[in-house]
Amino acid sequence: MSRIAKKPIIIPPKTEASFSGGVMTIKGPLGVLSKTFRPYINVVVENRAITLTPNGTSLQARALWGTYASHIKNMLIGVNKPYEKRLVVEGIGFKADVKGTNLVLVVGFSHPVNVPIPTDLKVTTEKNIVVISGMDCESVGQFAAVVRAMKKPEPYLGKGIRYSDEVIRRKQGKKAA
């Protein structure tokens, strides 16, 4: 049983929510987000609140109850305040630039790496910091993970791409005899 989904989700001011045909649509000051939900969960929007109830006692319904509540909460937050992830590019000669619709990374390979930026995201670079922001929590996190996977931080010198709040455990390396 989900403790998260038992409570009704309050819709913030300046935000509209509607559910029809299995599609949850949320409109806010920053734009519109919509997501398709399976019929295992009943969603009711009334009196500035969203209530979720499972359709039965199946394992699938119980599993998706809290998941869908979290998705709706993330959507409500995203249309009011954009999500943001910061990546730090660390290493001698390593840099990141935004050129058109691509993020160009120079991270120690023989060639620069071009990563296409999704249309719903905004990416900016300042020195060695890449800032990814957007309404959809999932697409911001996914794009940040794709960029980080281009050159993961290594444990000896700490070179690579890491999240700004990530701590890299450093190894000692070889000892002199």
Query: How many Cα neighbours within 13 Å face the side chain of 60?
Result: 6
- Asked whether the domain spanning 83-163 has the same topology as the one spanning 9-78, the reply is yes
Residue pair 76/26 in contact (Cβ under 8 Å)? The answer is yes
- What residues have CB less than 8 Å from 116, skipping those under 6 apart? 101, 102, 103
Phi, psi of 123 (to 5 degrees): -120, 130
Report residue 100 CA to chain centroid gap: 22
| pLDDT tens-digit series, residues 111-136 | 999 999 999 999 999 989 999 999 99
> Residues in the chain with pLDDT < 50?
none
- Report the C-alpha gap between 19 and 121 in whole angstroms: 25
When the candidates are 3.40.50.300, 2.40.10.10, 3.90.930.12, 3.40.50.2020, the CATH number that belongs to 9-78 is 3.90.930.12
Please report, for the chain, the start and end positions of each structural domain, with discontinuous segments joined by +: 9-78, 83-163
0.75 surpassed by pTM? yes
Q: Identity (one letter) of the amino acid at 132?
A: I
Residue pair 161/153 in contact (Cβ under 8 Å)? The answer is yes
- Report the C-alpha gap between 121 and 119 in whole angstroms: 6
Q: Which CATH architecture has domain 83-163?
A: Alpha-Beta Complex (3.90)
